[in-house]
Amino acid sequence: MPKISVEEIRNISKIALVRHGALDWISRHVADAVAASESVGNRICGLYYLESYCEQLLSGRVNGKASPDVQLVSSGSVYVDADDGFAQPAFSKGLPEALKLAKKNGIASLSVGRAHTCTSLGYFTKKIAEAGFLGLGLTNASPIVAPPGGKSRIIGTNPIAFSVPDGNGSVAMQFDQSTTTVALGKITMAKAAGKSIPEGWALDKDGKATTDPEEALKGTLVSAGGYKGWGFGLMAEILVAGMTGGRISKNVAPLKARDGEPHNLGQFYIIIDPATGASFYNRLKELTTIISSEEGTRMPGQYTVPQIEVDVPDDLWNLAIGLSKAKHSE
């Protein structure tokens, strides 16, 4: 397993996307997200997704020449029509205006609609925190979760991410997690590796617990904490579909399928200026000190340091190199 620099991952990903039909500036934003995921060990949202991006650029399921349209909906709300393109460039177009509104009003929302899956939601909320604001992000996905006690797929893994600024241009705390016990990518990776999954992750099509990833993919994933995770998943579903106009999970085809209609997903962000709080950074420091005082405990994301080089499986890196040498661009 070779060690590959994150910068090379970024460059190879960008070249691959351009060769499959994406514009240069769009490819740059998506490749940066791929590299950022790899730098913190989040392979599910990194190189693992590159082949799907490229295939869907060719099939037209994602628009590699999209022109995101930023719209001021109200004095505190920004909407970006992603034009059936990638979420990353659409977010980059809308964020500056949303930050201005949050600074002016103390809080603002940013809705991204008609977008491709955003993969790592924390990539986006981290950018909000690095700009000095609290960022809460939500999105939905293709259906894989049944209501507690049910068997029918209704909602997706519906991630939620939350990033907190440290006041110095970095992040004091961050979590990015699905509202299911585990992300769907963990199941697909286990299947590809021929490995079983822990009990409690998924149910088969008959609603029975399974450790077979293939049976899990025919069935449903389990909400984290049962009814509690189900509630958070529904919260994400309502806010995202309702505020962005994106599809509800039930109507979204499998995200990595090569062919089909564009994802038409949404991502919804709430941006808060900590300066409007009575004593935000003092309380944050107090809480961080208390949590860190006990050995082995930390704030989520507190000691996460992006790596400069990462291990990449040979077959995955060879696939990325192959994609970067393809000749499909117009």
Inside any domain, residue 158: yes
Inside any domain, residue 294: yes
CATH number of the domain enclosing 112:
3.30.1370.60
Inside any domain, residue 97: yes
Inside any domain, residue 197: no
Please report the pLDDT score of residue 185 as a whole number.
84
Per the listing, tokens 């930023």 go with 70
Range of the domain at 132: 68-180+223-305
User: Which residues of the chain fall short of a pLDDT of 70?
Assistant: 328-330
**pLDDT, tens digit, 9 for 90 and up, residues 219-261:** 999 999 999 999 999 999 999 999 999 999 999 999 999 999 9
CA dist list (Å): 330 to 19, 68, 76, 326: 8, 21, 40, 12
Please report the pLDDT score of residue 184 as a whole number.
87
Inside any domain, residue 242: yes
Distance between CA atoms of residues 44 and 318, nearest Å: 17
Inside any domain, residue 93: yes
Inside any domain, residue 316: no
Angle between helices 6-19 and 314-324 in degrees, nearest 10: 40
Please report the pLDDT score of residue 64 as a whole number.
98
Please report the pLDDT score of residue 189 as a whole number.
87
Number of domains in the chain: 1
Q: Is 163 exposed, middle or buried (0-12, 13-18, 19+ CB in 10 A)?
A: buried
Inside any domain, residue 74: yes
